Amino acid sequence: MTNAELLNAAAAHAIRYLETLESRPVGATASLAELRVGLGRPFPETGEDPARVIEDLVRDAEPGLLSSAGGRFFGWVVGGALPTALAADWLTSTWDQNAATNATAPAEAVVEEIAGAWAREMLGLPSGASFAFVTGSQMGHVTALAAARHRLLRDRGWDVEAKGLAGAPPIRILATEGRHESLLRAARLVGLGTGAITYVASDTVGRMDVAAAAEALRQSAEIATIVWLQAGELHTGAFDRFAALCPLAKSADAWVHVDGAFGLWAAASPKHRYLLEGADQADSWVTDGHKWLNLPYDSGLVFVADSLAHQGSFAQTTSYAVPVDGFRNQKDWNPEWSRRGRGFAAYAALRALGRAGVADIVERCCAHADRLVNSLGALPGAEVVASPVINQGLVRFLAADGDHDHRTDAIVARVQEQGEAWFGGATWGGKRVMRVSVCNWSTSDRDIARAIATVREAVADCAH
């Protein structure tokens, strides 16, 4: 087989996969143990035929794939891949650019400059904000915290890049209990530690209590502070009250960070944009292209208002990959050296969608989430725990014997087994709930109807 035949065969498998998503079980059909048997073998002494390797990979991996690329996957908040973005992503792998610098990847440097500026404009962020294309929100948080650490300590006469944190003035982070766990790892990685986090009270949908935040800022006011806010709470999709919290934090000289992994995209929609009022006053923002924008994975974006603090934490020079002055040099903003050209898929998707196209995805997903949560909540014995603010909601199922948690888990498991749709479980406010996230560009009215029908069946199967 020629290389061209090999690549065509792979493309044919990819296209067949996408075209059969309609009829595939949404969950995996093989267990991890079965997958290990299918894929496992002794490390081969000599190489195998490439065509055979790819054929086997397709056969042995497919039973272990979740159909999250399709329209009936409502677990976590994952999103699919727009065909335009996927096409650009294929080319990204093909072109094999090392996106570290503008010397190693000139086209990618320029594409990032353009796509980052488009995203910044669409998200309503300050035009002077710097940005980086990172793996995801997790590394976006690390990048933003490094910039925050730089500025907060520089203001206290401490050069953290040279001296590290040992002996440095302390930094604390004010957050709510509903924060995504990636905050904890970001705090670990930048050397602040999870002990630096102080939790501030929140309301029933997870929004930070403004009076409690004011009180927390007053206490130990001399300590350098990062206020961690959310645009789209993980379970409920709730937005912090930026218009009240940002000025409050600013008046205390705190750095405000916004975790908008999925929710920041609401800025594209005239209907939902009000949720982000005041968020442009923050110091750093993180979002994922691989969630609501529906780019393939490995596509987070971080923005920093104080570009000098951002650059001060990352820029370096070398003698062997000298960037061209006056053009964006990716490594000055990113935590990585060698990496994939993440800008190409973002550029292609944003161009193909335009502001109206992104708004349309956001508004369709929100409308689907609303219909799904309300329809599921109206099933016999069901209850809406959180109505969608945007594309997220929570439902639970009551049991005659009072063990609602058990019945809710049983119904979630039953739906996953049926394979028509996929929802996950979680604990919210001490109760087991079914999470409903609609984040895929391709979800249709028919997908929503199929999802409601399969949950209705599961509810009937799992007796009260």
Ligand X SMILES: *Cc1c(COP(=O)(O)O)cnc(C)c1O
Specify the amino acid at residue 395: V
Shortest reach from residue 429's CB to ligand X, in Å: 18
* Cβ-based nearer residue to ligand X, 69 or 458: 69
* Cβ-based nearer residue to ligand X, 80 or 323: 80
Query: What b/e readout covers 64-73, taking b as 16+ CB neighbours within 10 angstroms?
Result: bebbbbbbbb
What lies within 8 Å, CB to CB, of 384 at 6+ separation is: 373, 374, 376, 377, 393, 394, 395
Q: How far apart are alpha carbons 157 and 174 in whole angstroms? A: 23
Interface residue list for ligand X (CB under 6 A):
77, 136-138, 180, 182, 232, 234, 259, 261-262, 288, 300
* Cβ-based nearer residue to ligand X, 185 or 404: 185
* Cβ-based nearer residue to ligand X, 137 or 330: 137
Shortest reach from residue 335's CB to ligand X, in Å: 13
* Cβ-based nearer residue to ligand X, 79 or 341: 79
* Cβ-based nearer residue to ligand X, 101 or 176: 176
H or E segment at 224? Answer: strand 224-230
Shortest reach from residue 67's CB to ligand X, in Å: 19
Shortest reach from residue 453's CB to ligand X, in Å: 28
Q: Strands, E, within 14-158: which ranges?
A: 130-134
- 132 backbone dihedrals φ, ψ, rounded to 5°: -145, 145
* Cβ-based nearer residue to ligand X, 141 or 407: 141
Looking at the DSSP bridge assignments, the partners of residue 133 are 301
Q: What's the token pair of residue 270?
A: 């005239």
Please report how many Cα atoms fall inside a 13 Å half-sphere around the Cα of residue 107, on the Cβ side. Answer: 10
Shortest reach from residue 84's CB to ligand X, in Å: 21
In DSSP notation, 420-456 reads: S-B-EEEEETTEEEEEEE---TT--HHHHHHHHHHHH
Shortest reach from residue 227's CB to ligand X, in Å: 16
Shortest reach from residue 206's CB to ligand X, in Å: 10
Q: What's the chain's length in residues? A: 464
Residue holding tokens 């067949």?
Answer: 16
Residue holding tokens 């508004």?
Answer: 363
Residue holding tokens 């002996």?
Answer: 167
Reduced to 3 states, what is the DSSP secondary structure of residue 166? Answer: coil
Q: What's the token pair of residue 234?
A: 């993980």
* Cβ-based nearer residue to ligand X, 108 or 288: 288
Q: What's the token pair of residue 85?
A: 């973005």
* Cβ-based nearer residue to ligand X, 89 or 259: 259
In DSSP notation, 355-415 reads: HHHHHHHHHHHHHHHHHHHHHHHTSTTEEEEE--SSSEEEEEE--TTS-HHHHHHHHHHHH
Shortest reach from residue 452's CB to ligand X, in Å: 24
Shortest reach from residue 77's CB to ligand X, in Å: 5
Residue closest to ligand X (Cβ): 136
Quick one: how many helices (H) and strands (E) in the chain? 14, 11
* Cβ-based nearer residue to ligand X, 175 or 254: 175
| CA R_g for the chain | 23
Q: How far apart are alpha carbons 70 and 222 in whole angstroms? A: 50
Torsion angle (degrees, nearest 10) of CA 53, 54, 57, 62 = -160
Pairing of strands 255-259, 224-230: parallel
* Cβ-based nearer residue to ligand X, 78 or 109: 78
Shortest reach from residue 196's CB to ligand X, in Å: 18
